[in-house]
Amino acid sequence: MARTPEEFRTKQQIDVRVLHEVVGIDPKAGRVRVVDLSANREWWEPYDHLLIATGAVPLRPKVPGADAAGIYGVHTLESGIRLRKILDESRPARAVIVGGGYIGLEMAEAFLLRGMQVSLVEKAPQVMGTLDEDMAVHIAQALTDRGVTLHLNEGLEAFEVRDGRVRAVITSQRSLETDIVLLGMGVVPNTDLAREAHIPLGERGAVRVDRRMATQVEGVWAAGDCAESFHRLTGRPIHVALGTVANRHGRVAGMNMAGGEASFSGVLGTAVTRICSLEIARTGLQTRELEALGRSFVSRTIESHTRAGYFPGSGRIHVKLLADSDTGAVLGAQIVGEEGAAKRIDVMAAAITAGLTAQEVSELDLGYAPPFSPLWDPLIIAARLLAKDAP
């Protein structure tokens, strides 16, 4: 967190100034320690209700050279603005991205659009670990097709630094010369303040909360990337650092803090993203999660089209559905495809939330017209096949 006043201007010409910082919580006395960054003054500020909304911090690699100049992350509006300024001014030709998740892939697109040469290093055997490996291969293929050099199964070992500036990324396999490095290694809940105040933490170090977003300490609430969620399908705590979830957290916490009554309805793990023209979406539980839970399940993967095959702009779409072997209830869905693919995931989010079976999904009366879908929507095709394996 900032230790000096910070100022920056957003694209929308909004001046942002960080003037105060909370450096400690005293829940027993119901007060927080506030620092006035411009006046170098500190005091205790009392509260009736306290909301911890400290967000998350990006994971930084603990390898030699990690503090060198030229290594960037994008986790705040400000860090994005800074990076864009650097790209505009110094026009680097080469970028290495460390991490093949949402941020890594979205930044790969941004770099490609600027005509940069992009390499991506990922220690796992696949990009986008929130999808199953057989679906992630389509993403990898699309990245390669668009000019990204992928290095999977390669751990980051060090950064080569010259004159204080990163010159190369050293992986377990090779050395990649580069002008800049972008870190997309994920985030961890920013819960130092909570931990120091003995407010109990839970999943992955996020602040433990109930469905009202109340922590286990009277009068203290938490919301956003620093707080736990729970999974709608498993009921178990889960940490999801996404804007939609944070926003829903905040709404529930705010209503309860203001004397109302609201309950967080949980997350299904729905996420969508786009890399160039490739759309990626997922919801529910993936194979790895179902296996970890010891659930008995079946899955089917199909390839179809986003529109009627003869319609201009019709593109490929891959759909994977997973269902409970015993009940047939759909448990998860993954989609990778061209324009029009991703938001189809919302149908499955509704279906999974409602407990629909694969057979029931296959019988849904979905909209058809040539600009929008083949006669049988890809979801129907996948569900119909899946229903053959599940009751």
Residues that bind a second copy (CB under 8 A): 12, 232, 242-245, 247, 265-274, 279, 281, 283, 310, 340, 342-347, 349-351, 353-356, 360-361, 363-369, 371-373, 375-377, 379
* In the complex, least distance from residue 106 CB atom to a second copy, rounded to whole angstroms: 8
Instruction: Quote the distance between the C-alpha of residue 63 and its chain's center.
Output: 24
- Residue owning tokens 């580069």: 178
Pairing of strands 297-305, 316-324: antiparallel
* In the complex, least distance from residue 234 CB atom to a second copy, rounded to whole angstroms: 14
Cα 391 to Cα 384: distance, rounded to the nearest angstrom:
11
* In the complex, least distance from residue 39 CB atom to a second copy, rounded to whole angstroms: 35
* In the complex, least distance from residue 332 CB atom to a second copy, rounded to whole angstroms: 13
* In the complex, least distance from residue 96 CB atom to a second copy, rounded to whole angstroms: 24
DSSP state letter for 199: P
Residue 70 near residue 98 (C-beta atoms within 8 A): no
Q: Residue 92: helix, strand or coil by DSSP? A: coil
Cα 77 to Cα 86: distance, rounded to the nearest angstrom:
15
Cα 266 to Cα 248: distance, rounded to the nearest angstrom:
9
For a second copy, the closer CB: 117 or 234: 234
For a second copy, the closer CB: 3 or 310: 310
Tell me how many degrees the CA angle 317-240-234 measures, rounded to the nearest 5: 85
Tell me how many degrees the CA angle 261-267-271 measures, rounded to the nearest 5: 135
For a second copy, the closer CB: 160 or 346: 346
Neighbours of 296 (CB within 10 A): 10
For a second copy, the closer CB: 32 or 358: 358
* In the complex, least distance from residue 258 CB atom to a second copy, rounded to whole angstroms: 17
For a second copy, the closer CB: 156 or 331: 331
* In the complex, least distance from residue 232 CB atom to a second copy, rounded to whole angstroms: 7
Q: Crossing angle of helices 133-145/102-113, nearest 10°?
A: 10
For a second copy, the closer CB: 202 or 269: 269
- The runs of H, that is alpha helices, within 174-279 are 192-196, 243-257
For a second copy, the closer CB: 96 or 345: 345
DSSP state letter for 31: E
Residue 171 near residue 188 (C-beta atoms within 8 A): no
For a second copy, the closer CB: 169 or 245: 245
* In the complex, least distance from residue 142 CB atom to a second copy, rounded to whole angstroms: 15
- Write the CA distances from 382 to 259, 301, 302, integer angstroms: 46, 7, 6
